[in-house]
Amino acid sequence: MTSKLEQLKQFTTVVADTGDLDAIARLQPVDATTNPSLLLKAAALPRYADLLRQAVDAGKGDLGLACDHFAVAVGQEILKVIPGRISTEVDARLSFDTEATLQRAERLIGLYEQAGIGRERVLIKIASTWEGIRAAERLEKAGVQTNLTLLFAFAQAQACADAGVFLISPFVGRIYDWYKKAEGRDFVGSEDPGVQSVTRIYDYYKHNGYDTVVMGASFRNLGQIEALAGCDRLTISPELLQKLAEDDGQLSRQLAPGAAGEPRQSLDQSAFRWALNEDAMATEKLAEGIRLFTRDQEKLEALLTATA
């Protein structure tokens, strides 16, 4: 029997949620994703010391620019060991500013292209706020494909699909965390609220013919991954990828096109904001996620300052 990781790869594109080149080379995912937290971890690795110094020099006193240079440098290294694409994230502090998000996204793509990396190998990660979704809509029309992250509510998924974004990253583990704390109990398999959220989105997209890719993210255990086998893509930490690689048990496909889905519903800004407001979990986790990514962005800036 082949490993669960190899079985999973038969019907789901596996993405590595890390900046650790050794782990990526060992586990051989198709794509990889980074975020401020993962870049901060990567910055602590000795192999990236030179890239940190080069980013500081390239930034010429502009910390935001230095961070972008570092993110792109890490992305370049990752692209050397994967066949697919790298997701690189826009500064979370711009999550409520469409124009600033657009400018930062264009700068990231420009830095990749200056390094000889075509935009077809890059996804720009943007928080799934109303403003972020509008920025993504314009980027997609301009030929820059996007990965909408920090997605917790069904309304966010609806708005992303209508905006024509390339890919969304619903956060399974963080949804699970919220409900586990709120209800004081654990959840397993298909009863897991995070698994249910991704399943609902996947079925909605397939039922209504949306092309937007669903990539489950933020996993806490193997059960969540196994319950979403068949999802378009899953971005998984090296630790959980390793566990899948070491497990020779049977893995069955759980998600597939053809299941019943809800009818298409398009949301304007007021309907989107109201639906998000009505979802306490999504409202809290979106705000928390933006704050946490911002704190790690600030720590990365401090590290770059210390490197100067």
For residues 101-120, one letter each, b for 16 or more C-beta atoms within 10 angstroms of the residue's C-beta and e for the rest, the string is: bbebbebbbebbeeeebebe
Average pLDDT, the chain: 96
The residue-averaged pLDDT of 55-67 equals 95
The residue-averaged pLDDT of 73-95 equals 96
How many other β-carbons are positioned within 10 Å of the β-carbon of residue 197? 23
Model confidence at 1: pLDDT above 80: no
Is 125 labeled as catalytic in the residue annotation?
Answer: yes
What does the alpha-carbon distance between residue 52 and residue 48 come to, in Å, rounded to a whole number? Answer: 6
What pLDDT shows up at residue 114?
97
What does the alpha-carbon distance between residue 43 and residue 52 come to, in Å, rounded to a whole number? Answer: 7
What pLDDT shows up at residue 18?
87
Q: Which of 4, 9, 80, 125 is catalytic?
A: 125
Query: In this predicted model, what pLDDT tens digit does every residue of 259-293 receive, in sequence order?
Result: 999 999 999 999 999 999 999 999 999 999 999 99
Q: Are 148 and 126 in contact (CB under 8 A)?
A: yes
